[in-house]
Amino acid sequence: MATATASLKRMYIDGKWSAAENGKTLGVINPATEAVIDEIAYGGRGEARHALEAAQRAMPAWMKLTAWDRAKILKKTADLMRERLDALARTLTMEQGKPVAESKAEILHSADTFEWFAEEGKRAYGQVIPNSQPGKRHVTVKHPVGVVGAISPWNFPITLQSRKIAPALAVGCTVVAKPASQTPLSLVQVFECMIEAGLPAGVANLVMGPAQEIADEFLENPICRKISFTGSTEVGKQLMRGAADQVKRISLELGGHAPLIVFPDADPEAVAKAAVIGKFRNNGQVCIAPSRFFIHKDVQKKFTEAAVEFARNLKLGNGLDAGTEIGPMFEKRAMEQAIALVDDAKRHGAKVLTGGKRSTRFEHGYFFEPTVLADLSPQSRILTDEPFAPVMPLLDFNKIEDVIQAANNTRYGLASYVFTNDLTIAWRMAEGLEAGIICINDPVPAVPQCPFGGMKESGLGRELAHEGLEAYLETKYVSFKLRDS
C-alpha cells in the first residue's frame, strides 16, 4: 500500500507521493486553535503539468477497462472511507473547523457518492436511432471527455472533490485534483483509500499550490479537456473566459443566495428549528445555505421568537469537543467578512436579535456567534452579496406573488426553501422560483442520486445523479451504410 508516510504533506503524481519541486511547504491552520497542524507540499504549474501528462498516459488503459472493473475500485474506495470514518473525520474537523458529527456526515455522503457512481458508470448508455433510409443504421455511443482538472473549495473538502472524481473515473476519464490550500489533508487520506482500492498510477493525481497558477495550467494545457470547478461566481467567470480559448469543456457550481420562505400553514416553531439547522450547518459556509428568510406576517412573531431561542442555545466550540454544534469559521478573513456584513446591516438600521459579534469566550480561534437580524434595509449588503456566514436575516411578506418576486430578485439561482403543507402553494413555488434546487419542507436536500446545480450566475451543468455522469461524457453519432444484399 502506498501511503503519505508519517506526514500528510505530499502531492500524489503518477502513482508517487512527492514534494514540491521548489521545496516549498505551506502550513495548514486549525481554525479552532490558530495552530499549524501540518504542512503540505506547495507546488505550482510544473507539478500540475506533470500530473496532466501522467493522467494523459494513464487514460488509454483506464478507459479500456470495463465499467465493472472501474466500479470495483470506486466501490472499494467507498468501503475504505467508511472503515476509516473516525480518522478522516478528525482530520477534516481539525483543518476545516466543522463539528465531528458534520465531518462524519460529509464523509459518509462522499462514500455514498463513490458507490453510486460506481454503479451509474455501468449505465452510460447510447441509443439505437430509427433509420430514415433503407440500408442505413444509426447509433450513438458515449466516450469519456478526457483528462479532467477538478478544483474545489475549503468548505466541503471531501464532498466537492468526490462529486468530480467519482463520475469522471467511472466513465473512463482520468483526473488531476486541486483542493483548497487551507484544507488538503482529508483529501490526502481519501487518495490513500483510492490507492489501496487498486487505483492505477496516473489515473487520479493530487496537486497543491497557488490556485491561479494551477488553474492557468489547466486552462492553457490542451491535455486538460475539461475543468470542473466549485467556488465563487467571480472565479467561475474567469475560468469561463479562459476556457473559451480552447473551447474547453467546463462545469461550474458557483455561489448562491437562497431564500427560505415560510407560509402561515406551516408550524412556525418546527420550521424555525429546521431553518436554524439549515442556516448554521457548517457555520453558514454552504453554497446552498438559506440566506434570506421570508416569513409570512401571520407567523412572523412566533417564528422569530423560536429562531432566536434555537440560535442562542447552539453550543459553540472546538469541533473535536463532544456536544459542539457550531465550530469556528474556517479562517480569520471569513470571520472578519461576517463582522463587516453585520456592521453594514446595523448601519442601515438592522436590529441584532442575538449574536452579531466574535465570541469572547475563546482565547484562540475564529468563533463568531450565531446571529439573527431583523428590520433589514434593502440596501444592506447581506441581502445582495453571498453571505458565507452564520447570519440569519429575517424579512416578511403577505402575498405569494410578492415573495416569489423578492426571492428571485438576485443574480443567483442555486437553491430555494419553502415550508408549507399546501400542495397548491408548493407547486406554485416549485414552478415560480428561479433555482436549480427547490426544497419543500427539506432543509438538507443533497443526495447522490439527485442533480445538484444552479441557474443564472450560480453555475453551469449539474453534479450528482445521471446528469453528473453525463458531464464527463461526449456523445458520438455513428452512421452505418450497409452493403446491398
Residues marked active site are found at 253, 287
- Look at residues 484, 485, 480 and name the one whose alpha carbon lies nearest to residue 137: 480
Q: How is residue 482 written as a grid cell?
A: 450497409
- CA-closest candidate to residue 194, choices 217, 218, 177: 177
Nearest Cα to Cα of residue 157 among 119, 118, 208: 208
Q: Cα separations (Å) of 460 from 147, 254, 255, 298, 436?
A: 19, 8, 11, 38, 10
The 3-class SS string of the chain reads CCCCCCCCCCEEECCEEECCCCCCEEEEECCCCCCEEEEEECCCHHHHHHHHHHHHHHHHHHHHCCHHHHHHHHHHHHHHHHHCHHHHHHHHHHHHCCCHHHHHHHHHHHHHHHHHHHHHHHHCCCEEECCCCCCEEEEEEEEECCEEEEECCCCCCCHHHHHHHHHHHHHCCCEEEECCCCCCHHHHHHHHHHHHCCCCCCCEEECCCCHHHHHHHHHHCCCEEEEEEECCHHHHHHHHHHHHHHCCEEEEECCCCEEEEECCCCCHHHHHHHHHHHHHHHHHCCCCCEEEEEEECCCHHHHHHHHHHHHHCCCECCCCCCCCCECCCCCHHHHHHHHHHHHHHHHCCCEEEECCCECCCCCCCCCECCEEEECCCCCCHHHCCCCCCCEEEEEEECCHHHHHHHHHCCCEECEEEEECCCHHHHHHHHHHCCCCEEEECCCCCCCCCCCECCEECCEECCECHHHHHHCCEEEEEEEEECCCC
